[in-house]
Structure 1
Amino acid sequence: MSNQPGGESAAQLDLAGINDAAENEAARRAAASKEAADTVMQAFGGVRGMIDMTLPGLVFIVTYNITHEVAPAGWAALGLCALFVVTRLARRETVQHAFSGVFGVGLGVWISMKTGKAEDFYLPGLLWNVGYCLGFAVSALVRWPLIGVMLGPITGEMFTWRKESPGRLAAYTKATWAWVVIMGIKPLILFPLYFSHNVNLLGWLKVALGIPPMLLAMYVTWQILLKAPPPIKAQLDDEPAEEADRP
């Protein structure tokens, strides 16, 4: 077999080309996997956001078990939410999830103090969970899946997936239904405990079911997006002008 200049055979060059192509494909898949994971985590506040939404409920049930009174438990939970907001402001971080936590906890504290029933602290969260699932279901039915609405601005595709990428629309719809199913399990478990006035079991299960279902839904979303076509970046109105101004 004749050798190519440089001492490499055609077979060796072909093999090297195949290896390079395989490495490039592996790198592309790794980059796509990381981008999909980062996008999902960013949309839902990441680990910090989930902690901000979970810890106040834990503080409430712990304080209530110690004091057996609604008011101290409510103020302790609300104080923790306020601390989260102040800490994020001091670090110049986004306060979106912290503020939503303050609103939800504040409403729960107000209702529970009005009724004197500790289980009412969890009522706004339970109703929000039901509304959340209904909203996701309706969005999927009308072909505006909320997962796509939430992730589009983060990926830079905005809403191009609705008309220009049927594969992305199908993926976002599938992911949205996954959230409906996974997150819908929580109210099915917790509402019977609320109506039975089992405050302790309701409180501890509410905490236990705070992060795991969300992580599962995020994982399923990530897996769905890995198999979806790449996002089509949205063309901004000022981009052609910017291109024209360049030498």
Structure 2
Amino acid sequence: MTADEPVAGPPAPDTVEALIRHRLAVALGGWRGSVETALPTVVFVGVWTATDHDVRTAAIAAVGVALVLAVVRVVQRSSLQHVLGALVATALAAFFALRSGQAEDAFLPGILTSAGFLVGTLVSIAARWPVVGFLVGAGDPRAQEDPFGWRRDRGMVRVCARLTWVLVALYVVRLVVMVPLYLGSHVALLGVAKIALGWPLYVGALAVMGWLLVSGHTPLEPGEDPGAEEERAV
């Protein structure tokens, strides 16, 4: 190989499923964000239990932990994406709990969010703008110039719709578990359920998506991913 020859890279995806696997790997984060999301909930339930159901102290402790996690990110000059999401969610949960004085209300924003996402994912499928397609688009090297290019491939839209049904199932499971616990004021179980139905359930959903992507062989329409060719030639 001469110095002028391009370095060979991985083969270009030849199916919709292979392309989606590649782009989702680019778009999704890692384990640290899941810890940052779960830790304030653990602290809230732990402090609430240890202080004989003192909602104010538990809420302050949870927000404090989220702030510390954000400061650590700033000091390390790393992405604040996940920790800021956890900080906003924790602050909102603390507001609901402090306003009512009921610890279970700390979990109400998450329940309402899951209900909203359930409706949103169903509407996106019905409108043929499946939510997963936006994640796929985010992993496209041409996303800034053509953020909705994925919609031009009908096979891509069909596969993304199937994957979005997995998210629908995820939100249904969350609501089926969380709503009865909330109505029964089972705070400790709500904390356990929120953590179990957070990152672990999300990983399970990704595993189901992965199985669908491995078992499917939907052909790419011509010209769907020229960006892959450009990446290989660099």
Are 2:44 and 1:60 equivalent residues in the alignment? yes
Q: Flag the 1:234–1:105 CA change in 2: closer, same or farther, 3 A.
A: farther
1:66-81 matches, within 5 Å, as 66-67=50-51, 68-81=53-66
Moved more, 59-68 or 218-227: 218-227
Residue in structure 2 matching 1:183, options 171, 193, 201: 171
Asked if the contact 1:112/1:119 (under 8 Å) is kept, the reply is: yes
> Could you give the per-residue CA deviations for residues 44-77 of structure 1, whole angstroms, max 9, x where no partner exists?
4322222222121111111111012011111111
Count of residues paired in the alignment: 209
> Quick one: which amino acid aligns to residue 163 of structure 2?
A
* Structure of larger gyration radius: 1
Question: Quick check: 1:143–1:173 contact (8 Å CA) kept in 2?
Answer: yes
Distance in structure 2 (CA, Å) of the matches to 1:132 and 1:44? 18
Query: Which of 220, 225, 231 is the equivalent residue of 1:233?
Result: 225
The within-5 A match list for 1:127-206 is: 127-156=112-141, 158-163=147-152, 165-206=153-194
Higher relative contact order, structure no. (Cα contacts within 8 Å, ≥ 6 residues apart): 2
Q: Which residue of 2 aligns with 1:6?
A: none
Aligned-pair CA distance for 1:225? 3.5
Deviation at 1:31, TM superposition (A): 11
Q: Note if contact 2:118-2:168 (Cα within 8 Å) is conserved in structure 1.
A: yes
Structure 2 contact 136–150 (Cα < 8 Å) conserved: no
Of 144-153 and 85-94, deviating more is 85-94
| Structure 2: 5+ residue stretches without partners | 1-9
Does the 8 Å contact 1:111/1:120 carry over to 2?
yes
Quote the sequence identity (%): 30
What's the CA shift for 1:38? Answer: 6.2
Which one has a larger percent helix, Structure 1 or Structure 2? Answer: 1
TM-score by length of 1: 0.75
Residue segments in structure 1 that go unaligned for 5+ positions in a row:
1-26, 240-247
TM-score using structure 2 length: 0.78
CA shift in 2, pair 1:126/1:44, >3 Å = farther
Matches within 5 A, 1:80-119: 80-119=65-104
Question: In structure 2, how many angstroms separate the alpha carbons of the residues matched to 1:130 and 1:201?
Answer: 19
**Which whole-Å deviations, capped at 9, do the CAs of 1:27-49 have from their partners, x for residues lacking one?**
75999999855643553432222
| Distance in structure 1 (CA, Å) of the matches to 2:63 and 2:226 | 41
